[in-house]
C-alpha cells in the first residue's frame, strides 16, 4: 500500500511537471505569435505608406509633364 502511494505521488509530480512545461511552451508560443502579428502589421503600414508616396510622386510627375507640354515657348527666330 505504501509503495502504491509513492508511485501515485511520483506520477502526480511527473504529470504536474509535464503540464507546467506545456503551459510555459504555449505561453512562449503565444508571445511569439503576438510579436509576429505586430511586426506584420507594422510592415503592411510601411508598404502602404511607400505606395502612397510613390503614387503622389507619379501624379506630380504626370501633372508636370502635361504642364510642360502645354506651355508654348516663343520662337526667337521670328
Single pTM value for the model: 0.58
Span 10-21, average pLDDT: 94
Residue 8, CB-side half-sphere exposure with 13 Å CA sphere: 5
The yes-or-no verdict on residue 57 having pLDDT over 90 is: yes
Residue 60, CB-side half-sphere exposure with 13 Å CA sphere: 6
pLDDT at 68: 72
Span 34-52, average pLDDT: 98
Amino acid at each position: 500500500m505504501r509503495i502504491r502511494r509513492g508511485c501515485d505521488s511520483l506520477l502526480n509530480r511527473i504529470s504536474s511537471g509535464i503540464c507546467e512545461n506545456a503551459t510555459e511552451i504555449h505561453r512562449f508560443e503565444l508571445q511569439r505569435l503576438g510579436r509576429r502579428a505586430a511586426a506584420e502589421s507594422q510592415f503592411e503600414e510601411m508598404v502602404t505608406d511607400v505606395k502612397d508616396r510613390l503614387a503622389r510622386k507619379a501624379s506630380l510627375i504626370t501633372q508636370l509633364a502635361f504642364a510642360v507640354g502645354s506651355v508654348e515657348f516663343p520662337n526667337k527666330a521670328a
